[in-house]
Structure 1
Amino acid sequence: MTTLTPVLSKNWDRSDSFTLDAYRETGGYGPLHTALGMAPDALVDLVKGSGLRGRGGAGFPTGMKWGFLPKDNPNPRYLVVNADESEPGTCKDIPLMLANPHALVEGVAIASYAIKANQAFIYVRGEVLHVIRRMQHAVAEAYAAGLLGRDILGSGYDLDVVVHAGAGAYICGEETALLDSLEGYRGQPRLKPPFPAVAGLYASPTVVNNVESIASVPSIVENGADWFTAMGTEKSAGFGFFSLSGHVAKPGQYEAPLGITLRELLDMAGGIRAGHRLKFWTPGGSSTPIFTDEHLDTPLDFESVGAAGSMLGTRALQIFDETTCVVKAVGRWISFYAHESCGKCTPCREGNYWMVQVLDRLENGEGTEADIEKLLDICDNLLGRSFCALGDGAASPVMSSIQYFRQEYVDHMEQRGCPFDHAKSTLWGGNR
């Protein structure tokens, strides 16, 4: 397979792709005009029929989530876009907002109309100031053109959109922690239930969707549900970004149908860097169990990746060749999770801290066989026992790395240190 499906990325090669004029030249905001002529419930049914699943990692059906809002709740309804992209290896939403912000703005307008919301928020990771400014400019252009605000396109529908800069916390990628942060509180996960659909932002019915999920909606309105389901697989319909990074010849964003394999993507990306071979990779970012070269032909859809023992997640394909020390790589990830743990629950707060200590000992050749078992024991106390998915995500690379590379952990002990020359790996500052 060599055919990509450039939909959200089709105009990224234009220097002015982020402007309203450029977006409209290729039919932008036509779907919004179409949507405003439809009944809101018909839009929800359209998205349900398309099979669009959340592109933020969980893969929950988008239209179904929209349909969960209670019809008898008198409070205002809100749409919140989760643009707090902070997962190591995940890098799709930021370039999308930078190169094609109006796809998101139009998606926000359509989705808000579908769920009968008159207020929407785009919560952007605070560190990416250039993206925040790009989104603010796009929203301002849309207001000036009558595409947001009062009586949009003469339809009688009103919508206000706020671009909110986050405060730099990875935990705010969790939807309820994001809502607390948006309300001005410290970002920490809430106890569920109640779920955001019932009591979300300001205790009102709220839909929280990922950037890519919402940005995909205009193309579905324009082309129809059958067009979308014709791509991907039966249960994982449509297209998505596959973010290749690490030891690959041509890293970048590859927009392709779900169900494509890493082997096919590597063929398009020029393969592993010259003179090296694949050792391990992540199918959905650092919080998903790692894969090895035996999984090269695993279809990258939710069901197939799950059946193979990992998660599709955000389709962040981090590629590592044989120069990479898996113990060091996992140690780097767990250091990140220990730093970003909000501290609300004991398993995550303490478990990640202690895994950092154990992994440091092992990496420096000071560990024992008991330390490997200790890591697995800590992971067992994290899985399913932390307040949110951060704990589960942190346990994933540790457990899977021991499953596939236990001997490498042993080698560190037997050789009294790391057996790898990190100067040969570009990941640790070595030369390519």
Structure 2
Amino acid sequence: MTLPLFRHNRANRVVTFDEYREEGGFEGLKKAFTGMSPAEVQQTVIDSGLRGRGGAGFPTGRKWSFVPRDLPGPRWLICNCDEMEPGTYKDRVLLEHNPYSLIEGMTLACYALGVRHAFIFIRKGYEKAAANLARGIEEAKQAGLLGEKILGTEHSIDLDLHLSAGRYICGEETALINALEGRRPNPRQKPPFPAVKGLWQGPTVVNNVETLANIPAIVANGAAWFKGLALNPEGAGSKLFCVSGSVKNRACVELPIGSTLEAVLDACGGMREGRKFKACIPGGASTQFLKPEHMTLPMDYDTVAKAGSRLGSGGVIVFDESHCLVEATLNLITFFARESCGWCTPCREGLPFVKEILTRIENGRGVEDDIVILREHVKYLNYTFCALAPGAMAPLDGLLRDFEDEVREHIVKKKCPLK
């Protein structure tokens, strides 16, 4: 089975523009611009079942359909490559090996949405990926596949690369829009939603790198082909899983949607020698733990949600029996507390307080009432302006739900039992 995202990858180097084209690159773009209407491209993406790969998993074509066709003025597309969540590095790996799938995918998305000008919002630390994109954009322009009158048609599309200072809050689409406008990256009030009133008050779609990089293969091969890649009937396509922690080979791998958790770990060589699987975070830092009984769980959005977690970004962090999950959760909460923009009180004040309680517990100074207070904060921090704090509470929720005994052991023994 040929999967779309890594099929052009070369070992230890980026694929060239000519190699990408020789292997079918830009065929989807040619097919769309010469034989499909924008509405047909959009409907193909809807029919494919592609869901957003940035974390939320919202159907991509449906998100595009929210953009009104009758609003005057320009509309915008933004690619979010401000990849900041711990355990998630798939977009960097993709772009360091192949920037062209994203360039082609964004051009197709612009065509479908009626966008003349799009932006790639990339964190400044991704220097190699940004250099690949800058070169790829220029190559596509020289070949008549981007810029003015693409392939001799009346359609003109430009892509601009914007290097961000990089903050986790920019993963929230309206905070990203504020940052791109030169404002402080606080989330905006919704409604109005970006599809109606986003960048410079115009209709705006924000998609993730992996999401947009899937578009060329969907257009070239059809919606049914993409759905057929999945191993479960309700799934569609492939997924990039970036695996870290207690595995033999930490790596970013592409597997069909619906592959089991065990298959994801096997693709990285399995557990480290002599180590036994204890738990993992399956979708980046803002997801609940999965346990050994979930090894046969199909890794897809709905199935992982039914198991009490989220597929999220596909950032799998693996823990073995020697790891303290109180310490691991504290590490994640410390990150979220630092990255809060401070816009709303529950996030600004609640996350440092949760960090303080977990620090006490990990250091042997916790009391039984701390567990009660932590449970209250899992509930209270869901009432926030954006999803940062609710996401931060996900690993804490999983810790208290599945590993409360380990938390209580810290309190009873007045120390971390694994140190």
* Same fold, judged at TM 0.5 (above): yes
Deviates more, 1:393-402 or 1:329-338: 393-402
Q: What number of residue pairs does the alignment pair up?
A: 417
Give the Cα–Cα distance (whole angstroms) in 2 for the partners of residues 31 and 261 of structure 1: 30
What does residue 316 of structure 2 align with? 317
- Tell me the distance in 1 between the aligned counterparts of 2:227 and 2:111: 23
**1:240–1:214 CA distance, 2 compared to 1 (3 A):** same
Name the counterpart of 1:260. Answer: 259
The question of whether the paired residues in 1 share the 8 Å contact of 2:140 and 2:146 is answered with yes
Alignment of 1:264-343 (within 5 A): 264-343=263-342
What is the letter of the counterpart of residue 380 of structure 1?
K
1:230 corresponds in structure 2 to 228
CA distance in 1, matches of 2:359, 2:136: 45
Match of 2:56 in 1: 58
Cα-to-partner distance string for 1:143-181 (whole Å, 9 max, x where unaligned) = 222221111111121011101111221100111100000
Q: Distance in 2 between matches of 1:5 and 1:297?
A: 23
Does the alignment pair 1:374 with 2:373? yes
SS in 2 for 1:284: coil
Select the residue among 43, 46, 51 that pairs with 1:48.
46
- What is the deviation of 1:5? 4.7
Distance in 2, matches of 1:56 and 1:266, equals: 21
CA contact (8 A) 2:239 2:255 kept: yes
- Following superposition, the deviation at residue 127 of structure 1 comes to 2.1
Q: Is the 8 A contact 1:81 1:208 kept in 2?
A: yes
> For 1:109-154, what per-residue CA distance to the aligned partner results, in whole angstroms no more than 9, with x for missing partners?
1110111110000001122222222211211222222221111111
Which residue, 94, 97, 103 being the options, matches 2:95? 97
Match of 2:29 among 32, 42, 63: 32
Name the CA distance, whole Å, in 1 between partners of 2:50 and 2:183. 32
Among residues 7, 13, 31, which one is paired with 2:10 in the alignment? 13
2:99 partner letter = P
Residue 424 (structure 1) aligns with: none
Task: Give the deviation of 1:14 after TM superposition.
Answer: 4.5
Q: Distance in 1 between matches of 2:63 and 2:149?
A: 26
**Does the 8 Å CA contact 2:99/2:129 hold for their aligned counterparts?**
no
2:215 pairs with 201, 214, 217, which one?
217
The 10-residue stretch of structure 1 (11-20 or 99-108) with the greater mean CA deviation from structure 2: 11-20
Q: Which residue of 1 aligns with 2:118?
A: 120
Moved more, 226-235 or 33-42: 226-235
Q: Deviations over 1:38-65 (max 9, x none)?
A: 1100101111111111111111111111
- Write the deviation string for residues 293-320 of structure 1: whole angstroms up to 9, x where unpaired: 1111111111111111111101111111
Aligned partner of 2:171 in structure 1 is 173
Segment drifting more, 324-333 vs 12-21: 12-21
State the 4+ residue runs in structure 1 displaced beyond 6 angstroms: none
Q: Is the 8 A contact 1:120 1:160 kept in 2?
A: yes
SS in 2 for 1:66: helix
Please list the CA deviations of residues 381-401 of structure 1 after superposition, one character each: whole Å capped at 9, or x if unmatched.
Answer: 102x01111111111111111
CA deviation map 1:241-299 (0-9, x unaligned)? 12211101122122111111111222332211011100110111110111111111111
C-alpha spacing 1:214/1:184, structure 2 compared with 1 (3 Å): same
- C-alpha distance in 2, partners of 1:15/1:412? 45
Alignment check: 8 A CA contact 1:5 1:255 kept: no
Answer yes or no: is the 8 Å Cα contact 1:16–1:22 preserved in 2. no
Secondary structure of 2:243's partner?
A: strand
Q: Counterparts of 1:49 and 1:208 in 2: how far apart (Å)?
A: 20
CA shift for structure 1 position 67: 1.2
Pairing of 1:65-80 with structure 2 (within 5 A):
65-80=63-78
Deviates more, 1:30-39 or 1:134-143: 134-143
The 5 A counterparts of 1:172-251 are 172-232=170-230, 233-251=232-250
1:163 is paired with a residue whose SS is strand
Q: Is the 8 A contact 1:325 1:420 kept in 2?
A: yes
In 1: Cα distance, 2:267 partner to 2:194 partner? 40
Shifted more, 180-189 versus 263-272: the winner is: 263-272
Cα shift readout 1:63-89 (whole Å, capped 9, x = no counterpart) = 111111112100201111111111111
Corresponding position of 2:81: 83
Give the aligned residue type for 1:140. E
1:229 is displaced (CA, Å) by: 1.1
Gaps of 5+ in 1: 422-432
The residue number in structure 2 matching 1:22 is 19
**For residues 354 and 2 of structure 2, what CA distance do their matches in structure 1 show?**
41
**8 A contact 2:3–2:229 mirrored in 1:** no
Using a 3 Å threshold, how does the CA distance of structure 1 residues 23 and 377 change in structure 2: closer, same or farther? Answer: same
- The secondary structure found in structure 1 opposite 2:195 is helix
Decide whether the 8 Å contact of 1:279 with 1:320 is kept in 2.
Answer: yes
Structure 1 position 418 matched with structure 2 position 416: yes
Q: Which moved more, 1:4-13 or 1:76-85?
A: 4-13
What does the per-residue CA deviation read over 1:397-424, in whole Å, with 9 as the maximum and x for residues that have no partner?
1111111111111221222221223xxx
* CA distance in structure 2 between the partners assigned to 1:14 and 1:27 by the alignment: 19
Residue type of the alignment partner of 1:395: M
Q: Please, which runs of 5 or more residues in structure 2 have no aligned partner? A: none
- What amino acid is aligned across from residue 20 of structure 2 in structure 1? Y
Residue 405 of structure 1 corresponds to 403
